[in-house]
């Protein structure tokens, strides 16, 4: 299953055109999984109802594993499970909303709610067992554990033994996450942890074919060779065209595409000037010209480079976790936490809000 980009419940409530566009899945996505972010149960429940009523989702995944400072300093992401009772109540509100909306929409199968967490804030403030039980008791259908603490960010190697510990603690399926960059990594995580599934993040950046490699390994088949440069160029073209079609804004879509081009061409000896030019493309024609020039310089049959395999993506060192003042003083929702989470405020400073300077066009959501 493929999970779409994380969307904030508050942005949907504010009727952000961009966010509603992001909430749509491609026509070939048979199981539509949307990752939802928020810190207020009522907001997340509202978003769940709307997404189901508009027939945009088959699974709702709540992300409480994000370690980004601008999120945790507001009590969101990986900071929230510290307030375990509140965390469980929040999940319960979303589960109830999903059940009621599924019934109202006459769905044969209710939309399940899944949850992603980390081990804890740091080694002195672990939350995974309490948070896992709270999520299970609240009706979560499955739970994913990124086997690092928040202060570890993406440093070192995730401790897969913690995934196994959670597998042995909970009755609901537990998925593992962290440092699966190859088919052999996937097999090893299954063997070490007994997890029900694996969630892959950084490894897919510029390398979507990792899924066919893992699938082959799980079926005991030979691992397919990586794509040639020419094949990757075709993937880049298809990806760029798909973004333009989905968002309806060529300039904005190509701006988003720039990072993907860099990831796709990781490890190939392009030269600094060529890479710089590819990070400045603004139209499909411009991208096509740059790719044509690239294939005039390098052989399209150039094999997939070894340098592009293995661990990649974000790998920052451990850091001090940015938290609201007094957040660790109690696991209950006190006055300071109420203020940090905006539970008593009419406005909300959305840490994931994006500029609407170039808004995407209005989208018809007939359903």
Q: What is the DSSP string of 152-217?
A: GTT-S---HHHHHHHHTT-SS-EEEES---SHHHHHHHHHHH--SEEE--GGGTT-TTHHHHHHHH
Q: What is the pLDDT of residues 59-91, one digit of tens each?
A: 999 999 999 999 999 999 999 999 999 999 999
Q: Give the global pTM.
A: 0.88
Does residue 154 contact residue 140 with C-beta atoms inside 8 Å? Answer: no
Active-site entry in 9, 23, 34, 66? 66
pLDDT tens column, 113-138: 999 999 999 999 999 999 999 999 99
Per-residue burial over 150-167, b = 16 or more CB atoms within 10 Å of its CB, e = otherwise: bbbbbeeebbbebbbbbb
Element (H, E) at 117: strand 113-118
pLDDT at residue 352 greater than cutoff 80: no
Are the C-beta atoms of residues 94 and 70 closer than 8 Å to each other?
Answer: no
Binding site listing: 35, 116, 146, 201-202
State mean pLDDT over 281-300: 93
Which helix (H) or strand (E) covers residue 97, if one does? helix 84-104
Q: How confident is the model at residue 345 (pLDDT cuts 50, 70, 90)?
A: very low
Binding-site positions for FMN read 35, 116, 146, 201-202
The tens digit of pLDDT for each residue in 101-117 reads 999 999 999 999 999 99
241 is catalytic: no
């Amino acid at each position: 299953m493929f999970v779409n980009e994380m969307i904030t419940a508050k942005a949907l409530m504010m009727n952000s055109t961009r966010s509603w566009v992001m909430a749509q899945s491609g026509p070939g996505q048979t199981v539509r999984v949307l990752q939802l972010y928020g810190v207020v149960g009522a907001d997340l429940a509202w978003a769940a109802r709307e997404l189901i009523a508009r027939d945009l989702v088959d699974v709702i995944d709540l992300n409480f594993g994000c370690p980004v400072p601008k999120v945790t300093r507001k009590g969101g992401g990986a900071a929230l499970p510290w307030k375990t009772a509140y965390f469980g109540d929040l999940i319960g509100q979303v589960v109830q909303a999903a059940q009621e909306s599924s019934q109202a929409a006459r769905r044969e199968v209710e939309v399940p709610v899944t949850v992603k967490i980390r081990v804890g804030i740091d080694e002195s403030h672990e939350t995974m067992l309490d948070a896992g039980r709270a999520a299970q008791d609240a009706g979560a259908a499955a739970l994913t554990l990124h086997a690092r603490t928040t202060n570890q960010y993406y440093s070192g190697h995730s401790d897969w033994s913690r995934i196994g510990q959670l597998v042995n603690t909970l009755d609901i399926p537990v998925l593992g996450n962290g440092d699966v960059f190859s088919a052999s990594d996937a097999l090893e995580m299954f063997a070490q942890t007994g997890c029900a599934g694996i969630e892959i993040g950084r490894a897919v950046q510029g390398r979507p074919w990792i899924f066919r490699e893992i699938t082959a390994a799980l079926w005991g088949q030979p691992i397919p060779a990586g794509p040639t440069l020419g094949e990757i160029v075709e993937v880049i073209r298809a990806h760029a065209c798909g973004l333009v079609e989905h968002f309806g804004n060529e300039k904005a879509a190509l701006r988003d595409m720039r990072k993907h081009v860099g990831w796709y061409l990781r490890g190939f000896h392009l030269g600094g000037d060529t890479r710089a030019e590819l990070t400045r493309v603004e139209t499909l024609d411009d991208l096509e010209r740059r790719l044509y020039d690239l294939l005039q310089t390098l052989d399209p049959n150039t094999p997939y480079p070894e340098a592009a395999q293995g661990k990649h993506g974000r790998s920052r060192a451990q850091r001090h976790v940015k938290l609201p003042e007094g957040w660790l003083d109690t696991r209950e929702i006190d006055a300071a936490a109420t203020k940090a989470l905006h539970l008593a405020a009419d406005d909300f400073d959305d840490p994931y809000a994006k500029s609407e300077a170039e808004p995407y066009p209005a989208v018809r959501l007939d359903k």
